[in-house]
Every structure is written in structure tokens, then in C-alpha cells.
Amino acid sequence: MNETLQDRLRTLATTAGQAHSRRDPLPVDHIVGRARRSRRIHDTVLLAASGAAVVAVALTGATLAQRDPTPPPAVSPTPVETPTPTPTPTPTEAVTPPVEPTPPPASTPSTLPLKDPLASRWMGDASLSSDVPESGDTLEDGDYFADLLSVDPKARTVEVDITILLTGALADAWVRENDPEDFADGVENGYRIINDVERPRTLPLADDARITMWCTGAPGIQQQEWTFEDWAALPDTGDTTCAPDDATRNRYYWVDVRDGEVAQLVGQFFP
């Protein structure tokens, strides 16, 4: 053999690149969308860290004020005031991006595609974040993550507690910043659910809404589809197996909202 390993690796890389060129191009819009979402979260973390620093300074000032009736004005001119910002750094509904305004999601109802509800959306390794609600009792179009609280079969609505799901590197970054004692070679199981969206929401389901849940007992993970009526009739506690008699409702779902209605509920497995 006359070729060096370098030559062989370069040839292999070139061949792979050529093979890629014959396939679909990289999905730039998807990449930009996810990067934009990450920037928003990163901005939120920065804001929270700044808030925590302000609180720390204010608390220090208040403490000094209690010890010394004439505290230096540079620290806190009104030390009797109790600082109100919460030190909890989370992507909440009222958060304002601190660095530069991030444009709202570019997608509109007609352009925000629905993901396949029969495919598990997170399988333990990818870095992703669910959408963050921004206003009001209803939800903008987006793929949210929620703890299912209740189902009203007659009204055809679900009551959900929206949370923020961070996985992979995003979860690592958040926990490093906000819960460092819980960070050991990565976040446990690779995800973190942040439950800082306080108000539960009751959301209507679209007439053609699709509902899928994961179940165990078959090889690999399976997402099984249910009609709303059958799903609503299921018990909400117990084992979640693929056997119809043993089925219970999943607890955590991706809540895909389009035009003010739930277009899809997709159960998410966590170890």
C-alpha cells in the first residue's frame, strides 16, 4: 500500500462529501430556527444571571445597611427596600431578551410544519428545547412541552402545565449555570424540565388533532396513536404498556399548537 492513512482519510471524507452533495441539502431554515431558539434561551440565562447578581448586590447592601445606619450610597441608596426580582434564572413568560431583541419565530401557521407524531421526538441524545410561551391564556403557534393535568372529553379540551424542556447541551448549559451542584459529567439522563410557567392552560383540541403515546413491552420505543375518545377514557396512573388493557395516559406530551388549537399531542418517554 502506497497511500498513507492521511490520504485514505481525506479520500474517505471527500467521497462522503460527494455523496452528501447528491442528497438533500442541509436544512438551513431548520438550523437557523434552532440556533435562534438557543440564542433566546442563552439570553434568558444571561438575564437571569444578571438578575441574580443584582439581587446579590442588593442583599449585600441590605445586610450592610442593617449593620451600619449610614451605608455607602454607591452600594444601595435605599437599603430598606426589599429586592423583588426572583433569583431563579428561568425562561419565564415575562422575560425580555437582555442583549438584543430576538425576532419572534419566523414561522406562521402555514409554514410551521408538524413533526411526525409517530416518531419519538427525543431519544436521549439530541440537544433541543421546547418552545417558550410568550403571552396570554392561549398559545402562539409552536411545539410546547407540558405536563398533562386533565382531560375534558365533553369540551374536548386538555388542561396542561407548560414547562420548558431542555435536552443535551442546552440542558447541560442551563444546569451548569443554575443548578451546578446537580451537574456531574452532564445532566442526569440528558434532560431537564424547567417548570416555571406558572399558569395552567386549558386548550381546545383541533377536530383532526392526533394523539400518540409511547408504550413499553415491544422492541424499542413505540408511539401508538389513539382516538381522542379512547385516549380520554384511559386512566391517568399506572403502567404504560403496549397491551390495550394495561394502557394509561402518558404524563408528558409535546403540545403542538397551530391556530390556537392543539394539533398534536405526542407523548414523550423519559428514563
Partner 1 sequence: MAWEEQVGSLARERGPALVGYAYLLTGNLPAAEDLVQEGLIRTFSRRRSTADVEWLEAYVRRAILNAYLDTYRRRRLWTRTAPKLAAATTSDAPDTLATDKADVDAALAHLGPRERACVVLRYFDDLTTREVADTLKISEGAVKRYLSDARAHLGQLLTEQDGDAADVLPTARRTR
Residues near partner 1 (CB under 8 A): 1, 4-6, 8-21, 23, 25-28, 30-32, 34-35, 38-39, 42, 99-100, 120, 123-127, 168-169, 185-186, 188-190, 216, 219-221, 269, 271
Beta carbon nearer to partner 1, 68 or 188 = 188
Helices 168-178 and 28-67 pack at an angle, to 10 degrees, of 10
Q: Do 145 and 163 touch, CB atoms closer than 8 A?
A: yes
Identify which of 257, 12, 41 has the alpha carbon closest to the alpha carbon of residue 265.
257
Output the smallest distance, CB 80 to partner 1, in A.
39
CB of 14 to partner 1, least distance (A): 6
Q: For residues 214 and 262, which CB has a smaller minimum distance to partner 1 in the complex?
A: 214
Residues with Cβ < 8 Å from 49, sequence gap 6 or more?
89, 177
Output the CA–CA distances (angstroms, integers) from residue 225 to 36, 117, 146, in the order listed: 32, 8, 18
CB of 89 to partner 1, least distance (A): 17
The CB-of-234 to partner 1 minimum distance in angstroms stands at 21
Residue at 230: amino acid letter: D
The distance of closest approach from Cβ of residue 233 to partner 1 in the complex, given in angstroms and rounded to an integer, is: 26
Phi and psi angles of residue 188, each rounded to the nearest 5 degrees, phi first: -55, 125
The Cα-based distances of 221 to 215, 216, 218, 252 in angstroms read: 7, 7, 7, 15
